[in-house]
Structure 1
Amino acid sequence: MPESTISAAFSLLDERIQRFIWSQRWEALRDIQEQAIPLLVKGGSDVIIAAATAAGKTEAAFFPALSHLLAMKEQGLIVYISPLKALINDQFGRLELLCEHLDIPVWPWHGDISSSSKKRFLTRRNGVLLITPESMEALLCNRGSSVSATFENTAFFIIDELHAFIGSERGKQLQSLLHRIERAVGRQVPRVGLSATLGDMQLASSFLRPGNGPSPVVIKSENSEAELKILVKGYEEPLLVSSKIIDNEDQDYEETTPAHVAAHLFKVLRGSNNLVFPNSRRGVELYTHLLNKMCAMEQVPNEFWPHHGSLSKEIRSETEAALKQKEYPATAICTNTLELGIDIGAVKSVAQIGPPPSVASLRQRLGRSGRRRGEAAILRGYCIEEAVGVNSPLSAELRLDTVQMAAMISLLLRGWFEPPVTGGMHLSTFVQQILSLIAQRGGVTIGQIYSHLCSSGAPFEGLAKDDFMLLVRHLGVKELVTQDSSGLLLHGQLGEKFVNHYSFYAAFNVEEEFRIISSGRQLGTLPVSQMLTVGQRILFAGKTWLVKDINEEQKSIHVVVARGGVPPLFSGASGRTHTVVRQEMRRILESTERLSYFDTVAQRLLDEGRDAYRQRGLAEHFLIDQGGQVVFLTWRGDATNEALACLLRQQGYHAYPAGPGVEVIKGGKSTNDVKVALLDTAFDGIPSLQVLLDGATNLHREKWDWALPESLLKAAYSSLYLDFRGALSWIKNVSAEG
């Protein structure tokens, strides 16, 4: 580093770290590093470092944290917490190079690390510990008596990919683990959060340090992100390519458009590194197969590799290695497993097939592209719509996938993305933490559980004492806990079995899809992100089905063909859409603006959606009469629509959230009857959750939800997925409009 570029922040670093920076021939510190070093080098402060991918966040945290460690009188410890083992492996390689010059040991700790390495760390308890929440959970459970000694000299907790934890059961677990460690060592340990995607900094601050104490200091990079180039291509799937043109449930057909999309991907991606996101594991397998087949037909080396959570570790590692090596180009067809910061090197472009799960997800994915100086980030979008026929659903008429893609890109360009849902009770994680605390301490009193997990600043602060006692008693009924004669809570027969299995340490379930079964034949699988009820109609494989039975334990939905009627809007797609996205979709449908990043077909599809919107008069009317069904178009998020459906079911109707609205089965009533029932809900008050969610299934969304009493299960689900305030607000608005 030339003397002319030496800054005040650089001068604060330990001279050995300064020499390392010189050896790497850095010209200057990054903006985010200049801001972070003065805050962290002295220790004592909670800090959030928010900057784009590859902006130098890791060094912004570790340069000053290591300088602080080197200045400590006693040997200290930095605990780096990552959501991914692969990210730990990457950071180990980066930190080892730096720390070997400092004589500071670096200790990776996860399921693939040898027990001998872990024992060496527990003997020394200094340096840099790289660990996942799950491994930290295991450490507290299995070495509870030594928690205080292990972490007594911790100088910092550094939490990478902070946004991946906020609002999730895993995030609640992490909050609990940090709180329990701080209770064990008798002091607060400074926390540093790193993230590239943080919308609401206040939410991020309250997550990093819950309670009423000083808020973390937030620093953001002032450097502008890379130039962004966008192209969205549209495709229209023919109505039906059928092997048997008969109207029964054995009719099968195949989509032809994915082959055309794959052909374009093959043409534009070959010869460079890229990421392709088809939004499902099935899509990953399909497009990988098509692209591998094209490589074989063209007699060229394969460049296309799969990556999703159901694949073995070895296959995922092969894909990551293919992306890292520089000799041959490689493109990964992946799910969100490659959204986070695993070091796969720079990619030229990101391809998104269909609208992404969220704007935040799209932003995170795009952070992989345009990382080299002077290179633009490139987004290639692919919208696939069905041709419109006589019985096409409203979603096809309005070209909702294309409109949603446009809305998400529009919001991305404006810098908006979804805030996390921070009001979730996450009682599933509370159950796990009770069992973990018992394991750590060899038994606890009811008062100790409440003090550790529910007191001021604790992760479950705010849980009413009556609900707490109801839950603890229910855990006894479930044989997860038992109470001895002295009043000490211990593991029950079932609790001991769970805690002694390695799968206990994860607070979350591996996402499972429901199997769709008709007359004993499995039609396929479907991710379902909302409650289900018997009698509901769903759209699957191009046909409308009536739900006859739901088996939550076996993750199966038994259906029969729905005779007659208009296809429903609900297609079972995974992910939950925010109100701001739906409002932007409506704005785009009411606009005449041409989108410069849409190709001719995508623009035509958008224009067709706008035409259908105008012809149906949807700018003035929110109600669509479809004969046996009524659709209320709210253009609100899924949490509002699902709450609205609950209120209508309380009025005696079969009602279901359906994309940008709610579908209601008339059941012999008139359209006006349904409308009156809707308006009445705004003045009848909100019934209890026990009544509103009566008959609802698929409420077991988190790992330990099965262990909750019914009332708390419904409360936990509602806290995460239902927005009754938004539902009533919408009803009152349309009532006022007449």
Structure 2
Amino acid sequence: MGVFDRYAPFIQDFIYDHEWENLRGVQVAAGEAIFGTEDHVLLTAQTASGKTEAAFFPILTEFWEDPPASVGAIYIGPTKALINDQFYRLTDLCEEARIPVWHWHGDVSASHKAKLMKQPSGVLQLTPESLEAILMRRHSAVAKLFCDLRYVVIDEVHSLLRGDRGGQCLCLIERLSHMVGVDPRRIGLSATIGDPEAVGAFLAAGTGRKTIVPRIEEPPRTWRISMEHFYTTGPQAPESLLRTREGEEAQVIAVSEEGPASIQKSSGITPWSPDGNEKSTQIIPLSPDEPPTDVAPTNADPGIGYIFEHTARRKCLVFTNSREEAEDVCTVLRAYCEKNHEPDRFLIHHGNLSASIRESAEELMRDDASELSIVATATLELGIDVGRLERAFQIDAPFTVSGFLQRMGRTGRRDAPPEMWFVMREDQPEARALTPETIPWKLLQGIALVQLYREEHWVEAPRLDRLPYSLLCHQTLAILASEGELTPAQLASRVLTLTFFHRVSADDFRELLRFHLERDYIEQTETGGLIVGLAGERVVNNYKFYAVFQENVEYTVRCDSQEIGTLVAPPPPGEKVAIAGHVWIVEEVDHKRHLLYVTQVKGRVPAYFGECSGDIDTHVLERMRRALEEHAPYPYLQENARARLAQARHVAANGGLARSPLVSLGGNMWCLLPWLGSYAFLALERLLKIKCAKELGLKGLDSSRPYYMTFIMAPEVDERAFYTVVAAEAEALEDPMELIYPGEVPTFEKYDELVPEKLIRKGFAEGTLDIACMKRRVAQWS
């Protein structure tokens, strides 16, 4: 029997009603794996390939044939926006079969949740934080809610793999299974998995089952990619710089200056040749837009003006890498509208905006006739369907290939090809700038991300072998808050058997418990049992405890009765703030209730929501170096970007930046370009400061992570001596704790302050610093 024939009648009707001519590859593969085995399943396929339906068609067929006695499937999504989007899609699918679909997060009404509690059934959609809240606060109802749980579907599983949140998700599934006595199958969904076998093992951890990763044949797709570069002020990189070094023939592919090159991409199975052979690449100039004239406000940023021109009369997404940048860009784009006497055609979307503003923007974008554009952060990177998008813009480069692919995949729905326009911006290098400061690092990074996927289909592998002591602390308190008094042995059994803590020793756990007992986070009863202490109660009773990702102290911003969003570090009354793409003057600050009352005004000021972090893989840095070394052009580069790259290659060739990792900047000043990812770069930086500084006479070491570091070296130390000393110290390094500064307590995760300093130092040294990669690179130098 074929997969379609196996589907329930209401699903077959759904397919007919939507005029699908056949099932997609991912839907056939998912049906065969879910119907035909009892294993876990990891579905990896292109964005907008129908992965959600692929997973739920077989699940809902089973529910139609044999209705579960409780919630039968949990859908875990990384964001509330994605859950809201999938809720409407699944509700439409399940309506005829009368299979209930529920969602549960902070913006869902209490009445909706109450109905679920009375009659648990069907499919429940939530975030990891909401599942944590249910296990902790509704412990007595968990058995009734989930006694017949059969499936856990984890959407955008890649987004949960690089930090504590993914570990929390895995712990929650294991805790729930233990509490209720169920063994649900796990179904992972993602468009961007770098190591499917490793992720499959992660998905199956602690279950005794294997994970099937179906090989899915996908048709070739066309990518439309453009990459342009702008200096924020002054003249742009001149066309004359496209000429290569004397005696070499320039290799510039002529493409439309206004429209991006159209690149025919091979299927997901056949990788691109890594030698730069682009015989399978088809360059098709697109018809240029008709840019409006005289659109720029005074002192305008030409890169933002370029975005303004090319979003006109189109429905687009404009991605930024931080909430601050999203606010700034949206403010400037709205100023362009005002300058040109146009209605405001720009929306904004990020995690610090109120739910009403975010959901309103999502709803407006779902209208296919809309010609609005939305400025967003990663909140719209994931699989939210915002209708037919014509273009995505990316300001500067994202941190990962995975992020690039996700953002690219927001467009290209409704059978149109995905289309991404990169806009790289930088300040003009000063005349006296050091050589490495004149390199366009973001432009190189963007090229590297695109080329790595074109040439190798490479995507970052998950980081699954950390020492997550902050999460260990969180789960210890969560389990005690949920289950009440436990003996030390029972608590250790509950916590240390969770698969994510496989590297945590019994001695480490005893160290944590002693620390918590001393500070009253945990209290020992007269009978020897352990319960949450008074200090611990203050931690676990805060609604923000459910989340393991770091949060700032946030102030709610209100204008009259409307909630605008949240800010950190609010200014005093009379000052201005930027949020929701507008500027507001602060009328009153209520520090006790964390409220900010504002009134909208005109103008422009910087926004601030907290630090923006991102880590870059070593493979990306290595490809950036190759981009400086090679001479072949990239067909998607536009005029300014081609000229800026040619300029950077000329500087790199003259200065030897790509040939040698250590470059003299004149006198005793040196530059080190290790081409290492963020965590290996950090390990090398510490090796130099802690182990090598005295012998090499290093002073004034200054890092531009993860690209380069500059320092002064003793006059008698030459390049060979540098390599010899660094290689010897790296080889002699046996204990990672030696790279921790005296008295340093490197707190990064949310609950590090509740962890003994000894464990924090150990977790950073052994679980964060990439010492192995650093040692391999130094050995290559020697």
- TM bin, normalised by shorter chain, reads 0.7 to 0.9
Q: Which region of structure 1 is more displaced relative to structure 2, 136-145 or 395-404?
A: 395-404
1:54 corresponds in structure 2 to: 48
Structure 2 matches for 1:218-297, cutoff 5 A? Answer: 218-224=213-219, 226-238=221-233, 259-297=301-339
Choose the corresponding residue for 1:492, options 515, 518, 533.
Answer: 533
Distance change >3 Å, CA 42–CA 151, structure 1 → 2: farther
Counterpart of 2:729, as a letter, is T
Which residue of 1 is the match for residue 245 of structure 2?
none
Q: C-alpha displacement at 1:130, in angstroms?
A: 1.2
Residue of structure 1 equivalent to 2:279: none
From 465, 472, 475, the counterpart of 1:433: 475
For 2:299 and 2:779, how far apart are their aligned partners in 1? 43
Matches within 5 A, 1:125-164: 125-164=120-159
**Distance in 1 between residues matched to 2:705 and 2:109, nearest whole Å:** 48
> Closer, same or farther in 2 for the Cα pair 1:393/1:479, shift >3 Å?
farther
Give the partner amino acid of 1:298: N
Q: Tell me, in whole angstroms, the C-alpha distance in 1 between the residues paired with 2:161 and 2:28.
A: 26
Partner SS state of residue 631, structure 1: strand
Does the CA-based 8 Å contact 1:175-1:459 persist in structure 2?
yes
1:592 and 2:587 correspond: no
Tell me the equivalent position of 1:569.
none
2:217 match: secondary structure: coil
Any idea what SS the aligned residue of 1:490 has? strand
Query: What do residues 124-171 of structure 1 show as CA deviations (whole Å, max 9, x unaligned)?
Result: 222111111111111110122332332110111111111111132111
Aligned to 1:15: 9
For the 8 Å contact 1:197–1:360, the answer to whether it is kept is: yes
Residue aligning to 1:728: 775
Q: Matched residues in 1 for 2:685 and 2:568: separation?
A: 24
Deviation at 1:712, TM superposition (A): 1.2
| 8 Å CA contact 1:645, 1:662 repeated in 2 | no
Q: Does 1:715 align with 2:762?
A: yes
SS of the aligned residue for 1:25 comes to coil
1:689 aligns with 737
Query: Tell me, what secondary structure is at the counterpart of 1:234?
Result: strand
Q: Which amino acid aligns with 2:510?
A: M
Match of 1:70? 64
Alignment partner, residue 675 of structure 2: 635
* Matched ranges for 1:620-659 at <5 A: 620-626=659-665, 627=667, 629-651=669-691, 653=693, 655=701, 657-659=703-705
Change (3 A) 1:695 1:624: farther
Deviation at 1:472, TM superposition (A): 1.4
* Partner Cα distance (2:346, 2:85) in 1: 22
Q: 2:709 aligned with 1:663, yes or no?
A: yes
CA–CA separation in structure 1 for the residues paired with 2:31 and 2:631: 49
Instruction: Provide the residue aligned with 2:88 in structure 1.
Output: 93
- 2:602 corresponds in structure 1 to none
Aligned residues: 661
Tell me if 1:381 matches 2:410: no
Instruction: Give unpaired runs (5+ residues) of structure 1.
Output: 1-6, 241-254, 517-521, 526-571
CA deviation vs aligned residue, 1:204-234 (integer Å, no higher than 9, x gap): 1122111483321112532235311111112
Task: Please name the residue that 2:450 is paired with.
Answer: 409
Counterpart of 1:192 (choices 178, 184, 187) is 187
The two structures have a TM-score, normalised by structure 2, of 0.80
Tell me the alpha carbon deviations over residues 349-369 of structure 1, each in whole angstroms, 9 at most, x when there is no partner. 111111212111011000011
* Partners of 1:295 and 1:226 in 2: CA distance: 35
SS at match of 2:501: coil
494-503 or 119-128: which moved more?
119-128
- Cα distance change on mapping 1:286 and 1:446 into 2, 3 Å: same
Q: Distance in 2 between matches of 1:680 and 1:280?
A: 40
Q: CA RMSD in A?
A: 2.8
1:37 to 20, 31, 37: 31
Distance 1:637 1:675, change over 3 A: same
1:512, CA displacement in angstroms?
8.8
Per-residue Cα deviation, 1:310-332 (whole angstroms, up to 9, x for no partner): 22222222322221123431111
Superposed counterparts of 1:88-127, under 5 Å: 88-127=83-122
Percent of residue pairs identical: 31
**Are 2:494 and 1:452 equivalent residues in the alignment?**
yes
Deviation at 1:237, TM superposition (A): 4.0
1:149 match: secondary structure = helix
Cα distance in 2 for partners of 1:701, 1:650 equals 21
- Residues 521-560 of structure 1 aligned to structure 2 (within 5 Å): none
C-alpha distance 204-113 of structure 1, shift in aligned 2 (>3 A) = same
CA distance in 2 between counterparts of 1:231 and 1:112 reads 38
In the alignment, residue 128 of structure 1 is paired with which amino acid? Answer: V
> Is 1:706 paired with 2:700?
no
Residue 43 of structure 1, CA deviation:
6.7
Pair 709,628 (structure 1): closer, same or farther in 2 beyond 3 Å? farther
Task: Verify the 8 A CA contact 2:553 2:568 in the aligned structure 1.
Answer: no
Cα offsets for 1:418-443 (capped at 9, x unmatched): 11211222221111111110111112
Structure 2 Cα separation of the partners of residues 617 and 468 of structure 1: 50
Relative to the length of structure 1, the TM-score reads: 0.84
Question: What residue in structure 1 maps to residue 268 of structure 2?
Answer: none
Alpha-carbon distance in structure 2 between the residues aligned to 1:323 and 1:168: 31
C-alpha spacing 1:289/1:485, structure 2 compared with 1 (3 Å): same
Q: Give me the whole-angstrom Cα distance separating, in 1, the residues matched to 2:669 and 2:530.
A: 53
Does the residue aligned with 2:84 lie in a helix, a strand or coil? Answer: helix
Unaligned runs of 5+ in 2: 236-296, 555-566, 570-574, 579-610, 694-698
Look up the match of 1:360. 402
SS in 2 for 1:651: helix
The one-character-per-residue Cα deviations of 1:69-109 (angstroms, maximum 9, x if unpaired) are: 22227535111111122222222212222222112111111
Residue by residue over 1:499-542, the C-alpha shift from the partner in whole angstroms, topping out at 9 and shown as x without a partner, is: 112111111113799999xxxxx9x99xxxxxxxxxxxxxxxxx
User: CA 1:340/1:258 → structure 2, altered by over 3 Å: closer, same or farther?
Assistant: farther
The 10-residue stretch of structure 1 (406-415 or 499-508) with the greater mean CA deviation from structure 2: 406-415
Shift of 1:695: 5.0
Which amino acid letter does the alignment assign opposite residue 733 of structure 2? G
CA distance in 2, matches of 1:447, 1:709: 20
Q: Structure 1 residues 605, 500: CA separation in 2 closer, same or farther (over 3 Å shift)? A: same
Equivalent residue letter for 1:170: R
Equivalent-residue separation in structure 2 for 1:306 and 1:394 (angstroms) = 37
Preserved CA contact (<8 Å) 1:690 1:714: no
For 1:31, give the aligned amino acid. G
CA 1:278–1:119: 2 relative to 1, 3 Å: closer
Once residues 687 and 26 of structure 1 are traced to their aligned partners in structure 2, the CA distance between those partners, rounded to angstroms, is 59
Contact 2:30 / 2:54 at 8 angstroms: preserved in 1? yes
Q: Which residue of 1 aligns with 2:351?
A: 309
Point out the more displaced range, 25-34 or 636-645: 25-34
Partners of 1:278 and 1:334 within 8 A in 2:
yes
CA contact (8 A) 2:692 2:726 kept: no
**AA paired with 2:757?**
E
**Deviation, structure 1 residue 115:** 2.6
Which residue matches 1:248? none
Deviation at 1:391, TM superposition (A): 2.3
- The answer to whether the Cα contact below 8 Å between 2:656 and 2:663 also exists between their aligned partners in 1 is no
Q: Secondary structure at the match of 1:80?
A: strand
* Structure 2 CA distance for aligned equivalents of residues 648 and 638 of structure 1: 16
1:338 deviates by: 0.9
CA–CA distance in 1 between the matches of 2:234 and 2:344?
33
Matched, 1:324 2:366: yes
Which segment drifts farther, 675-684 or 402-411? 675-684
Change (3 A) 1:299 1:620: closer
2:776 corresponds to which letter in structure 1?
Answer: S
Q: Distance in 1 between matches of 2:159 and 2:548?
A: 14
